[in-house]
């Protein structure tokens, strides 16, 4: 007898007529994301390769592996190329009722989050991201750890606007029962 | 009905007319409960120290029994002392639409739970509470890492009034004509399902806890068998065993069967104790499950707070034709890690009882047929298994010779993997009926998930290069109770399901959770 049943028992929907998420033209990520992604991935692997090359030659280890550790360059180049391809493929879009985010090169993943299911939104940026003027938008939904979507590759003003837009959407269709309200009061709350 | 057995007259020392809006304390007997749960917690958290790597026996040898006793006594005293402080500081108060709790050992915490958020109300009555008419009352809200409010040791009458107030208040949202207060008194109970002792026993036989018991037994056997055998060697029994040596294997077989039967019996009995006289009742539209011998538990759930159901049959359950049903609700990330929360289980079902699904959520029924996933799933994983196993198989057979046991073992591994892939492939299935999606999976056993598409929190479509070549995709639907996935769907089906789920979620204004 809940509302949901009323909403659902009276609809017969032709799946073919529903809007298809695949038809949406996705926005590419901002240009500054490419150097950032390459720098983080390349930087990580540069450290790994350097350690692999230098560590055996340190006096207190004194292993002579020759140039074999240079083989580490193979995964380093591989992952850097993957990152480059990934950035070119990454995309996002806002529809009237949901947020679409696509990522991945080998395993290609598209995530669609309805605004009505977002519980809260936050923006985040690390030091390196700030250097490039980038910002992430994180959306949280119910359903555990897997349920947090992080939209990467937006610049700061864009991220702020997206966040603002999402917050407005959330507020619009919030119902009284689910309005954000702390259930857990701070320790010093009692009178 | 069932409820009557729980009810006792409240003790005279606690006036029932006490205003519920005042700050109240727990009954003195709650101390027993706190001490017991404290001890339980201590054992659970420190068991691994004792058990770890067979250290227990060595520890016992190293430490004298007297020191051990002294240490345990000290721990027990600490537990009792903290329980007393906790009990002293604990206060709770009922408000119009919420319950407030003040508690804390060192840091004082105050918690306020709005009734509207509550998704599960539990009343438990451990046997030592029964003579005093006390119960343990707990409320669960979505996203909570633990039961947010637990009131151990409050009078039954108060707990029942609170339960009715919480569940009744919620009913006001949809049925405004009837004031909650009127409805609270006369319940119209309708029994949906009652499990007899035999079925509960069978539930225990098929439950996965048997593997836990086997593990525990193997551990104990491994630790103590040596000592027992050493001691046995000095007794006349040893001579008897020595005399039967030619037929020794028969003895061992007999022992093995004896142990297996014993463990199964134990598992069955544990289930009997846990669920004793289980019944599922519809009380004014709410679902109530009652059962338990030593700790009689009653769980109340509003139908609107059910996010899905899971029908499950373990591999052993297939032998017995035994199913069970899980009522799914929003859960937190924490549960996935430790799975600590005891869900709402309906045990001891048979194949015909699976129609109970429709009683729990009107309109739901187990579909006759499930659409299978693409056969490429099987082909893909067969190929992967073959590649994974064939290289070591080839190398080992060259190195050790073809008939070597290790080679045979790896070959057996390949055969088993192939079989498992096939079994899993055959189980994967889905069926869409109006707004409800059924997903079936499993290997020897099976698990059927059902939920309404509008509960979907997120849709994910994932494709590997292989899947892209063949127009296939994995679909992950994230629900408040966790993620349900279907692999190797035709891309168009996956996209259509995702689109439908999104449409359903976006047109329904309900359940943000």
DSSP string, B244-313: TGGGHHHHHHHHHHHHHHHHHHHHHHHHHHHHSS-EEEEETTEEEEEE-SSEEEEEEEEGGG--EEEEEE
**Across the beta sheet with A98-103, what order do the strands follow?**
A27-28, A91-94, A98-103, A108-114, B458-463, B472-479, B482-490
A110 touches chain B (CB under 8 A): yes
Q: Is residue A77 part of a domain?
A: yes
Asked if B478's CB is within 8 angstroms of A147's CB, the reply is yes
What ranges make up the beta strands (E) of A91-190? 91-94, 98-103, 108-114, 118-124, 134-141, 148-155
The span from the CA of B436 to the CA of B307, in Å, is 11
pLDDT for the residue numbered A6:
44
Measured between CA atoms, the residue of chain A closest to residue B497 is A15
Average pLDDT score over residue span A176-188: 37
Q: Is residue A51 part of a domain?
A: yes
Sequence length of chain B is: 513
Give the domain ranges of chain B: 2-26+90-196+277-303, 199-275, 306-373+428-507, 376-425
pLDDT for the residue numbered A86:
94
- Angstrom distances, CA of residue B390 to CA of B394, B402, B411: 6, 13, 9
Measured between CA atoms, the residue of chain B closest to residue A120 is B512
φ, ψ of residue B186 in degrees (nearest 5): -85, 105
A89 touches chain B (CB under 8 A): no
pLDDT at A78 over 70: yes
The span from the CA of B282 to the CA of B188, in Å, is 8
In chain B, residues with a C-beta closer than 8 Å to the C-beta of A141 are: 457-458, 478
Chain A nearest CA to B450, separation (Å): 15
Chain A nearest CA to B293, separation (Å): 33
**Helices B30-51 and B65-89, axial angle in degrees (round to 10):** 140
The span from the CA of B279 to the CA of B191, in Å, is 7
* Full domain range(s) for residue A73: 23-174
Q: Which residue has the higher pLDDT, A156 or B141?
A: A156
Instruction: Pick from B335, B478, B497 the residue to mutate for testing the A interface (most A CBs within 10 Å).
Output: B478
The span from the CA of B33 to the CA of B331, in Å, is 26
Among candidate residues A21, A125, A38, A148, the one with its CA nearest the CA of residue B461: A21
A191 touches chain B (CB under 8 A): no
Query: What is the helix (H) or strand (E) element at residue B194, kind and residue range?
Result: strand B189-194
A43 touches chain B (CB under 8 A): no
DSSP character at residue A60: T
Asked if B108's CB is within 8 angstroms of A190's CB, the reply is yes
Q: Is residue A74 part of a domain?
A: yes
Question: Tokens 């005293």 — which residue?
Answer: B77
In chain B, residues with a C-beta closer than 8 Å to the C-beta of A175 are: 509-510, 512
pLDDT for the residue numbered B420:
95
pLDDT for the residue numbered A12:
60
A138 touches chain B (CB under 8 A): no
Q: Is residue A11 part of a domain?
A: no
Asked if A187's CB is within 8 angstroms of B109's CB, the reply is yes
**Across the beta sheet with A118-124, what order do the strands follow?**
A118-124, A134-141, A148-155
In chain B, residues with a C-beta closer than 8 Å to the C-beta of A115 are: 506
Q: Is residue A131 part of a domain?
A: yes
Q: Is residue A8 part of a domain?
A: no
Could you tell me where the DSSP H helices lie in B186-247? 197-206, 209-232, 236-243
Across the interface, of B303, B336, B460, the residue whose CB is closest to A111 is B460
The span from the CA of B81 to the CA of B73, in Å, is 12
Q: Is residue A1 part of a domain?
A: no
Chain A nearest CA to B505, separation (Å): 7
Asked if B434's CB is within 8 angstroms of A21's CB, the reply is no
Tens digit of each residue's pLDDT (9 = 90 or more) over A33-58? 999 999 999 999 999 999 888 888 88
pLDDT for the residue numbered B236:
65
The span from the CA of B370 to the CA of A176, in Å, is 39
Q: Which residue has the higher pLDDT, A59 or A166?
A: A166
Please answer whether residues B425 and B418 qualify as being in contact, where contact means their C-beta atoms are separated by less than 8 angstroms. no
DSSP character at residue B459: E
Chain A nearest CA to B106, separation (Å): 11
Regions of chain B short of the pLDDT cut 50 = 1-18, 169-185, 333-340, 513
In chain B, residues with a C-beta closer than 8 Å to the C-beta of A113 are: 457-458
Please answer whether residues B497 and B436 qualify as being in contact, where contact means their C-beta atoms are separated by less than 8 angstroms. no
DSSP string, B76-99: HHHHHHHHHHHHHH-EEEE-SSEE
In chain B, residues with a C-beta closer than 8 Å to the C-beta of A114 are: 456-458, 502, 505-506
DSSP character at residue B21: T
Asked if A7's CB is within 8 angstroms of B510's CB, the reply is yes
pLDDT for the residue numbered B241:
60
Asked if B458's CB is within 8 angstroms of A141's CB, the reply is yes
Across the interface, of B111, B456, B500, the residue whose CB is closest to A13 is B500
Q: Which CATH number is associated with domain B2-26+90-196+277-303?
A: 2.30.29
* CATH label of the domain that carries residue A57: 2.30.29.30
Residue burial B477-493, b: 16+ Cβ < 10 Å; e: rest = bbbbbbbbebbbbbbeb
Asked if A145's CB is within 8 angstroms of B483's CB, the reply is no
Cα first-last separation, chain A: 40
Chains A–B, number of C-beta pairs less than 8 Å apart: 170
Number of domains in chain A: 1
- State the average pLDDT for chain A: 81
pLDDT at A182 over 80: no
- Which pair of structure tokens corresponds to residue A16? 């073919």
Across the interface, of B116, B331, B502, the residue whose CB is closest to A112 is B502
DSSP string, B381-424: HHHHHHHHHHHHHHHHHHHH-TT-HHHHHHHHHHHHHHHHHHHH
Asked if B330's CB is within 8 angstroms of A7's CB, the reply is no
A177 touches chain B (CB under 8 A): yes
Tens digit of each residue's pLDDT (9 = 90 or more) over A103-139? 999 999 999 999 988 888 889 999 999 999 999 999 9
């Amino acid at each position: 007898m809940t509302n949901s049943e009323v909403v659902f028992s009276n609809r017969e929907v032709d799946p073919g007529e529903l809007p298809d998420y695949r038809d949406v033209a996705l926005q590419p990520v901002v240009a500054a994301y490419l150097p950032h992604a390459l720098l983080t991935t390349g930087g990580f692997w540069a450290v790994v390769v350097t350690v692999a090359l230098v560590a055996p030659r340190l006096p207190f280890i004194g292993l002579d592996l020759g140039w074999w550790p240079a083989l580490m360059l193979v995964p380093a180049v591989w992952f850097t190329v993957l990152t480059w391809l990934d950035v070119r493929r990454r995309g996002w879009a806002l529809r009237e009722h949901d947020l679409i985010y696509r990522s991945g090169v080998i395993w290609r993943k598209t995530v669609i989050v309805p605004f009505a299911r977002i519980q809260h939104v936050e923006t985040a940026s690390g030091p390196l991201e700030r250097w490039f003027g980038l910002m992430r938008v994180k959306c949280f939904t119910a359903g555990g750890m897997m349920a947090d979507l992080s939209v990467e590759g937006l610049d700061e003003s864009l991220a702020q606007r997206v966040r603002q837009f999402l917050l407005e959407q959330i507020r619009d269709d919030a119902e009284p029962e689910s309005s954000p309200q702390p259930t857990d009061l701070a320790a010093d709350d009692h009178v | 009905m069932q409820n009557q057995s729980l009810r006792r007259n409240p003790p005279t020392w606690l006036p029932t007319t006490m205003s519920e809006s005042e700050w109240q304390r727990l009954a003195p007997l709650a101390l027993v409960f706190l001490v017991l749960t404290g001890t339980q917690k201590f054992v659970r958290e420190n068991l691994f120290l004792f058990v770890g790597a067979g250290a227990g026996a060595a520890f016992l040898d190293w430490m004298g029994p007297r020191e051990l006793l002294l240490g345990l006594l000290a721990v027990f005293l600490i537990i009792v002392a903290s329980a007393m402080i906790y009990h002293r500081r604990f206060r709770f108060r009922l408000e119009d639409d919420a319950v407030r709790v003040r508690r804390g050992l060192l840091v004082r915490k105050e918690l306020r739970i709005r009734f509207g958020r509550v998704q599960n109300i539990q009343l438990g009555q451990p046997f030592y509470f029964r003579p005093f008419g006390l119960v343990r009352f707990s409320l669960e809200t979505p996203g909570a890492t633990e039961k947010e409010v637990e009131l151990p040791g409050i009078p039954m009458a108060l707990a029942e009034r609170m339960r009715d107030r919480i569940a009744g208040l919620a009913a006001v949202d949809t049925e405004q004509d009837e004031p909650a207060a009127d409805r609270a008194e006369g319940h119209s109970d309708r029994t949906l399902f009652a499990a007899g002792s035999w079925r509960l026993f069978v539930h225990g036989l098929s439950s996965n806890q048997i593997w836990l018991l086997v593990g525990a037994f193997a551990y104990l056997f491994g630790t103590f068998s040596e000592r027992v055998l050493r001691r046995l060697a000095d007794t006349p029994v040893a001579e008897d065993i020595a005399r039967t040596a030619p037929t020794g294997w028969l003895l061992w077989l007999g022992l093995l069967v004896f142990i297996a039967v014993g463990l199964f019996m134990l598992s069955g009995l544990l289930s009997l104790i846990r669920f004793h006289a289980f019944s599922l009742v519809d009380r004014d539209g709410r679902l109530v499950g009652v059962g338990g011998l030593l700790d009689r538990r009653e769980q109340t759930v509003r139908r609107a707070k059910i996010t899905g159901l899971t029908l499950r049959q373990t591999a052993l359950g297939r032998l017995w034709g035994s199913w069970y049903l899980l009522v799914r609700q929003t859960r937190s990330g924490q549960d996935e890690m430790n799975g600590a929360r005891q869900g709402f289980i309906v045990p001891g079902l048979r194949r015909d009882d699976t129609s109970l699904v429709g009683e729990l959520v009107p309109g739901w029924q187990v579909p006759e047929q499930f659409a299978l996933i693409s056969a490429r799933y099987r082909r893909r994983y067969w190929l992967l298994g073959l590649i994974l196993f064939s290289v070591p198989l080839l190398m080992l057979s060259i190195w050790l010779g073809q008939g070597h046991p290790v080679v045979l073992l790896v070959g057996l591994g390949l055969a088993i993997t192939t079989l498992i892939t096939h079994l899993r492939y055959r189980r994967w299935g889905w069926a869409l009926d109006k707004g409800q999606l059924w997903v079936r999976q499993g290997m020897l056993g099976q698990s059927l998930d059902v939920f309404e598409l509008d509960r979907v929190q997120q849709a994910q479509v994932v494709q590997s290069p292989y899947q892209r070549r063949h127009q296939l995709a994995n679909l992950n639907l994230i629900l408040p109770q966790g993620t349900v996935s279907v692999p190797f769907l035709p891309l168009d089906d996956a996209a259509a399901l995702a689109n439908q789920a999104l449409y359903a979620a976006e047109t329904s204004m309900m359940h943000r959770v």
